[in-house]
Amino acid sequence: MKRTLRLSLCLILFLVLSVSPGFTAKQGKEKVDSLLDRLAIHKTDDTAKIALYRDIAFEYYVIDPKIGIKYGEKGIALSKLLNYRKGLIFCLISTGVCYWASSNFPKALELLLKALKIAEEEGNKTGISKACANIGSVYADEENYAKALEYYFKALKISEEIGDKKGIARKLGNIGTIYKEQKIPDYQKALEYYVNALKYYEETGEKRGIAVTLENISWVYSDQHQYKKAIAGLNRALQIVEEIGEPRWIMYYYGTIGEAYYNMAADTSLKYRKTLNSLSKNEKAQLLSQSLVYLLKAVETGKQIEAPKQMIDWYKYISNANKELGNWQSAYIYSVLSDKLYYDVFTQEKDLKIANLEAKRETELKQKEIELQKTRLEKARLQLISVAGGFLGLIIIVLLIYLSRRKSERLLRNILPAKIVRRLKKKEKPIADMFENAAVVFADIVDFTGFSKDKDPHQVIEVLTDIFGRMDALSDKFGLEKIKTIGDCYMAASGLPVPVHNSVENVARFAIACRDMMRDYKTNDGQSINIRIGMDSGQVIAGVIGEKRFSYDLWGDIVNTASRMEALGIEGEIQVTENVAKRLQGKFITRERGEQDVKGKGKMKTWLLVSVEMNN
């Protein structure tokens, strides 16, 4: 049941800056669009424009903090130009919050401390309070809890001086969270501050604040294995968000209550063991059944509002609860659902990051090429002007065209086989061929999603470039044609576009070399990475698709089967079909793996390719 401190502080930050935590990204975008429309028609550089810059910067904190920084900096610049120090305070705060959201903590602190200094000089108590609260949030995110408390207490004092009951409640809640989340939790103090915060929220009737504080109190009880008290608090929080009608919070509380019931049934810690020993099988089963009731409600709500990431852990809890109850089939089904959802969610996120990075890199390369081409053309123009006769200028133009065409041809050869390039130059359309004796191989990096999910995208691209570069070299060595890469999967083939008699042997040697290369492979930070490989052979159709961006691709049953061999394979091994195993007999050592249930094919005998025969 324990959340990360950063999640808690995200909510705190919303509250500190007087923005409802129930806002969705869509609502935030609508508000930004409205503010941008107002900015577009506001032509005067005045204090009202500064306020627009400040508000737009803050709204972008949730959507895209980097854009928020740009608007915040415009507000800072205009505030300085007009010597409007009040505007400067709040533009510095909004921009600092955007830097905090971008995880640039030093820059966030720099701006927030500047805002605090100016607010103190101006005697602006609201500015002092907001600056201190957000400085506290940054320090808390850096796990500098002593500094975080120092600034939270300053913010609390100001709220008390100006009689801001909502502000008092929020600061009390912040302080309670620090006492709970610090390295050695002080649960007594955490409860003290949370209970006081709850009183102020109840006085002001702020329902979201009441729900969040009840939840925080429940975390304290849960951390101390007092599950009944935790569940009681979470149920009260659930009732409140049901009244408000916020589906995401309803889903969240269903899930956390379900987790609490499960933990209450399954806790074997020393602190809880005495109670556990007195728990009958029937009582444990009742708790697990209650857990399933709430977890299934959370999943159902999650499906309705399309929140797959939150459902991963709940599927796992449902699987574990069914396992404890002896419902093995249901346990297995939900375990598979959890794993599949995890793969789908994080593969999508990883693919999106990599695609964005590749698109950005491609755009930068194109921009550089455009700039270089502009420079070349300008140089050519000046040369033409300086030449006495037009004949020399004509030669230069012809030469530039020739070089440009040569460069285009080289680029085309990098993405298509040489034979296909020649056919394209002859304007042959469509290009499509049947190959009877082809062999296809897929090599996929094992758990690359897990490896890459917390890493910088640049580091992910460097690892992929290194691995695929080595595979490219092996592909050339054994006479294969690289077809494409699909995320973290490498696809190649032999026997096309030029037919060869030994296509299966070529692919087998390539697969063994890739497997052996990756057994000792380590990244720059010392992490090991392994691959699964699958292959099949037979008939394929190969051809070129696309008009402006060409792609040479393959279609046929063996393509799908080779992909299935990889997906159902074993880490660090090469799985092949019976057809391939027979064709390699006498030249390579294979080992029968047994039957596999292959999607779209049914039961198939599969083999593991071990090595080349010694006399080969």
With beta carbons less than 8 A apart as the criterion, state whether 176 and 223 touch: no
For residue 285, give both structure tokens. 């089963």
pLDDT for residue 70: 94
Burial of 87 per CB tally in 10 Å (0-12, 13-18, 19+)? buried
pLDDT for residue 309: 74
For residue 396, pLDDT beyond 60: no
For residue 616, give both structure tokens. 């080969």
Mean pLDDT (whole number) for 546-568: 87
With beta carbons less than 8 A apart as the criterion, state whether 495 and 483 touch: no
With beta carbons less than 8 A apart as the criterion, state whether 151 and 139 touch: yes
Task: Kindly state which CATH superfamily the domain 1-204 is placed in.
Answer: Tetratricopeptide repeat domain (1.25.40.10)
Q: Determine the Cα–Cα distance for residues 508 and 439; give it in Å rounded to an integer.
A: 9
pLDDT for residue 196: 94
Q: Does the domain made of 434-612 have the CATH classification 3.40.50.10860?
A: no
Over residues 432-483, the pLDDT tens digits come to: 889 999 999 999 999 888 888 778 888 888 899 999 999 999 999 999 999 9
Mean pLDDT (whole number) for 608-615: 86
Q: At what angle do helices 187-204 and 207-223 cross, to 10 degrees?
A: 160
Pairing type for strands 481-486 and 432-445 reads: unpaired
DSSP assignment letter at 556: S
For residue 419, pLDDT beyond 80: no
For residue 244, give both structure tokens. 């408000």
DSSP assignment letter at 522: B
For residue 304, pLDDT beyond 90: no
Closest CA to 510 of 579, 439, 589: 439
Closest CA to 474 of 425, 428, 516: 516
Burial of 310 per CB tally in 10 Å (0-12, 13-18, 19+)? middle
- Domain residue spans in the chain? 1-204, 350-415, 434-612
Over residues 240-295, the pLDDT tens digits come to: 988 888 888 888 889 889 888 888 888 765 455 555 455 677 888 898 888 899 99
For residue 509, give both structure tokens. 């040697």
pLDDT for residue 505: 95
Q: Which residue would you say has higher pLDDT here, 505 or 32?
A: 505
For residue 57, pLDDT beyond 50: yes
pLDDT for residue 356: 52
Over residues 475-506, the pLDDT tens digits come to: 999 999 999 988 889 999 999 888 999 999 99
With beta carbons less than 8 A apart as the criterion, state whether 590 and 576 touch: yes
Mean residue pLDDT of the chain comes to 83
For residue 111, pLDDT beyond 80: yes
Residue 50 pLDDT level (bands cut at 50, 70, 90): very high
With beta carbons less than 8 A apart as the criterion, state whether 137 and 155 touch: no
What is this structure's pTM?
Answer: 0.51
Q: Determine the Cα–Cα distance for residues 442 and 289; give it in Å rounded to an integer.
A: 44
Closest CA to 265 of 311, 201, 219, 323: 323
pLDDT for residue 1: 37
Percentage of the chain lying above the pLDDT 90 cut: 44
